[in-house]
Amino acid sequence: MVLDVNWAVRWLTLCAQAMAEHRVWLIELDRAIGDSDHGENMDRGFQAVLEKLAEAQPETPGAALKLTAMTLMSKVGGAAGPLYGTAFLRASTALGDAAEIDPGSLADALVAARDGIVARGKAESGDKTMVDAWTPAAEAAQAAVADGTGTVLGVLVAAAEAAEAGAVATDPLVARKGRASYLGERSAGHRDPGAASSALILRAAVGAAA
C-alpha cells in the first residue's frame, strides 16, 4: 500500500462520508455536554473539503491536507474548525512536498497534528477533549514505527485503534476544557464528541489504505 495523494483524497472522502453518516450521533453526543453543533459543523466542513479537493486537485498528500486545514478553519464555525484545521496544517507541514509517505513520516505527521491541537486548544490528556484520542494515537503510531515492523498500514491501524480506545475512555471523565467544562461533574457519563470525531477521522485513514 502506497500513501500518496490518491490515498489522501480517499481518506478525506471517507472522512466526509463518516461525518455524514455519524452526523446525528455526534449532534447527540454534543447535545449532552456541549452546544449540539458538532455533527452539523463537521459534516458541513468536510463537505466543503470535498468541493475544494475537486476544484484544486492537489498533487501531494501535504497539499491535500493543507487545503483541508484552510477549509475546515473557514467553514466549520465551532472550536473544531481551528483545532482540526491546525492539526491538518501541522501534519501538512510535517509531510512537506513528499509524494509518498513512509511509516516514520506518517508517525511524525500524527505527532505534529496532536501537538497542533494541544497548542491551539491548550488541553491536556484527561481533560475530556479530542486530545484524549490524538495523544494515544500519536504514541501508538510512534511505537508501531519503533519496533521496526511497522508498515504504513500498520501505523494507521495502531493509531485508529488507540484513538477509538481513547475516545471510549473519555466516557467517565469530567470535562476540564471547552463548553462541556461548564457542566462540571455532570459531564461524566458521556463520550466527548471531539474525541469521537477524531476516532472516525483516523479510522477513515485506515479505510483509505485498505
Partner 1 sequence: MTVRLVVVSHSEKIADGAVELAAQMAPDVVILAAGGTADGRIGTSLEKVMSALDQAAGGDGVVVLTDLGSAVMTAESALELVEEPAGVLLADAPLVEGLVAAAVAAQGGADVKAVKRAAEAVYGLGPDVAVASPVLAASTVTEGSVTGPGPDFTGDFELVNEAGMHARPAAKIAGGLASLNAEVMVNGVDGASMTSLMILAAGKGSVLHIEAWGPDAERALNYVGGLVQAGFGEP
Please report whether residue 78 would count as binding partner 1 according to CB under 8 A: yes
Chain residues 129-188 in contact with partner 1, contact rule CB under 8 A: 178-179
The binder of partner 1 chosen from 5, 18, 64, 76 (CB under 8 A): 76
Report in angstroms how near the CB of residue 14 gets to partner 1 at its nearest: 24
76 neighbors 41 (Cβ within 8 angstroms): yes
The binder of partner 1 chosen from 11, 29, 41, 198 (CB under 8 A): 41
The three cell numbers locating residue 24: 446525528
Gap between the Cα atoms of 176 and 155, Å rounded: 30
The binder of partner 1 chosen from 39, 85, 136, 166 (CB under 8 A): 85
CB neighbour list of residue 52: distance below 8 Å, 6 or more residues apart? 67, 68, 71
Gap between the Cα atoms of 76 and 101, Å rounded: 27
Please report whether residue 83 would count as binding partner 1 according to CB under 8 A: yes
Gap between the Cα atoms of 95 and 65, Å rounded: 9
Interacting residues with partner 1 (CB under 8 A): 37, 41, 70, 73-79, 81-83, 85-86, 89, 120-121, 178-179
